[in-house]
């Protein structure tokens, strides 16, 4: 059974095919209106979400399928002590595919080992968020027309930001990409992610110094929910705020991305700048998840027939 737990679960060829299909879905959505007719997506969200859950649901409905699930752990039998392993055994009886978000690193991987249906990791703690990466790759490809030979700046909470971990891992597989990691010393990128870049990345605390050399700037929120103490969060949360003045140092073709939600790290005055692509990025999330649902369900069906 094929799952998506980590961005490296898909080859470059598979990622290219997903992006191509998502671009085709954007061009002619009516062609895909019944592609998942009769299929059921379960959304198991043990942590809050706006974009990921709703775009998954919108994706399945747009493909003619149906959706069931829960939006918080309190609405499930997890409150009675049921394990992820037992929950996915049950969900395998009721749905054809599942997207799971969980506060614990590795939860989706555990689920995949007990599941009879494809499991998609919709975010596991501070670890990985592979479907945000698919969204990011589609967005970058749409504006740069390539995923190679680019300079990427990542700014903010690089320690707990799972979207950063997944995207760096994915982009490191493409040749000639360069990485600039900008964060406070306490929120540096974990070594296991940094080493994916072949340890060629630049690390800095200064956004202004480096913004002029970037093709893509990926801003991130300081992940309050992963902090052990509120004082540290308050001290670090507004360390980087992208505003018009800082953006004036950047290239005309810079792409500013953010996985969202935004708190204060991009000033609203930046929203009107043509380089601000984060809302477009969120829109693309629906189309790439449509392509993903189709791929995993097609593969599960082929396996069932074999």
Nearest distance from C-beta of residue 261 to ligand CP, angstroms:
6
The Cα 222–Cα 125 span in angstroms is 14
> Is 178 noted as a catalytic residue in this protein?
no
Q: What angle do helix axes 278-305 and 130-144 make, rounded to 10 degrees?
A: 120
> Is 258 noted as a catalytic residue in this protein?
no
121 lies in the site for ligand CP, by CB under 6 A? no
Which of these segments, 45-53, 58-66, 206-214, 270-278, binds ligand CP (CB under 6 A)?
45-53
72 lies in the site for ligand CP, by CB under 6 A? no
69 lies in the site for ligand CP, by CB under 6 A? no
- Interface with ligand CP in residues 47-66 (CB under 6 A): 49-52
The Cα 117–Cα 2 span in angstroms is 8
Nearest distance from C-beta of residue 163 to ligand CP, angstroms:
6
Nearest distance from C-beta of residue 286 to ligand CP, angstroms:
12
CB 41 within 8 A of CB 162: no
* Residue tagged active-site, from 51, 127, 141, 239: 51
3-state secondary structure 137-160: HHHHHHHHCCCCCCEEEEECCCCC
> Is 303 noted as a catalytic residue in this protein?
no
The candidate with the shortest Cα–Cα distance to 239, out of 220, 213, 225, is 220
Nearest distance from C-beta of residue 301 to ligand CP, angstroms:
28
Q: Which residues of 1-13 are buried (b: 16+ CB within 10 A; e: fewer)?
A: ebbbbbbeebeee
Nearest distance from C-beta of residue 45 to ligand CP, angstroms:
8
Which DSSP string corresponds to 239-302?
Answer: S--B-HHHHTTS-TT-EEE--S--SSSB-GGGTTSTTB-HHHHHHHHHHHHHHHHHHHHHHHHH
Quick one: how many helices (H) and strands (E) in the chain? 11, 9
Please, which residue, 43 or 92, has the CB nearer to ligand CP? 43
> Is 37 noted as a catalytic residue in this protein?
no
> Is 28 noted as a catalytic residue in this protein?
no
* Residue tagged active-site, from 3, 39, 101, 210: 101
Interface residue with ligand CP among 121, 132, 166, 197 (CB under 6 A) is 132
The candidate with the shortest Cα–Cα distance to 29, out of 37, 21, 18, 40, is 21
Nearest distance from C-beta of residue 231 to ligand CP, angstroms:
24
Q: What angle do helix axes 278-305 and 12-27 make, rounded to 10 degrees?
A: 110
Please, which residue, 65 or 259, has the CB nearer to ligand CP? 259
- Interface with ligand CP in residues 252-271 (CB under 6 A): 259-261
- Give contact residues for ligand CP (rule: CB under 6 A): 49-52, 123, 132, 259-261
Q: Which residues are catalytic?
A: 51-52, 80, 101, 129
């Amino acid at each position: 059974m094929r799952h998506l737990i980590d961005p490296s679960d898909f080859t470059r060829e598979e990622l290219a095919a997903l992006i191509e299909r998502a671009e085709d879905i954007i061009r002619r959505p009516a062609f895909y209106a019944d592609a998942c007719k009769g299929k059921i997506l379960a959304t198991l969200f043990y942590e809050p979400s706006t974009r990921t859950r709703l775009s998954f649901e919108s994706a399945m409905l747009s493909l003619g399928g149906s959706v069931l699930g829960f939006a918080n752990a309190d609405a499930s039998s997890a409150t009675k002590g049921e394990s992820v392993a037992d929950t996915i055994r049950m969900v395998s009886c009721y749905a054809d595919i599942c997207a799971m978000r969980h506060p614990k690193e590795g939860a989706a991987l555990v689920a995949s080992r007990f599941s009879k249906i494809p499991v998609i990791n919709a975010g596991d703690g501070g670890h990985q968020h592979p479907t945000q990466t698919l969204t990011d790759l589609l967005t970058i490809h749409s504006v740069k027309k390539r995923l190679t030979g680019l300079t990427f700046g990542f700014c903010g909470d690089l320690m707990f930001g799972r979207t950063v971990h997944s995207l760096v891992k994915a982009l490191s597989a493409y040749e000639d990409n360069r990485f600039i990691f900008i964060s406070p010393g306490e929120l540096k990128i974990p070594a296991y992610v940094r080493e994916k870049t072949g340890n060629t990345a630049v690390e800095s605390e200064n956004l202004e110094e480096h913004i002029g050399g970037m093709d893509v700037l990926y801003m991130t929120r300081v992940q309050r929910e992963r902090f052990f103490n509120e004082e540290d969060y308050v001290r670090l949360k507004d360390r980087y705020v992208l505003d018009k003045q800082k953006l004036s140092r950047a290239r005309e073709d810079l792409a500013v991305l953010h996985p969202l939600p935004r708190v204060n790290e991009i000033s609203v005055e930046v929203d009107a700048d043509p380089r601000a692509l984060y809302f477009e990025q969120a829109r693309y999330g629906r189309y790439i998840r449509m392509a993903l649902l189709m791929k995993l369900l097609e593969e599960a069906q082929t396996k069932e027939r074999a």
